[in-house]
Amino acid sequence: RMAVGCLLELAFKVAAGEIKNGFAVIRPPGHHAEESTAMGFCFFNSVAISAKLLQQKLSVGRIL
């Protein structure tokens, strides 16, 4: 949960223009987690959650 929260804070600050860019060094990265299933040490897919919330809350259209 802390990894997701850290990435969300960073992503929202970058998207809002508070900071120019950022790099999140977090573990677990979440790349094994699926939408409704945890796998390995990945309970949440941090990047997918961040992308979805940026789209919903800030109407960000494209995410790389």
Does the annotation mark 31 as catalytic?
A: no
Selecting among 10, 12, 26, 32, the annotated active-site residue is 32
- Taking only Cα atoms into account, the Rg of the chain, rounded to an integer number of angstroms, comes to 12
- The number of beta carbons lying within 10 Å of the beta carbon of residue 59 is 8
42 - beta bridge partners? Answer: 39
* Max intra-chain CA distance, the chain: 35
Q: Residues with catalytic annotation?
A: 32
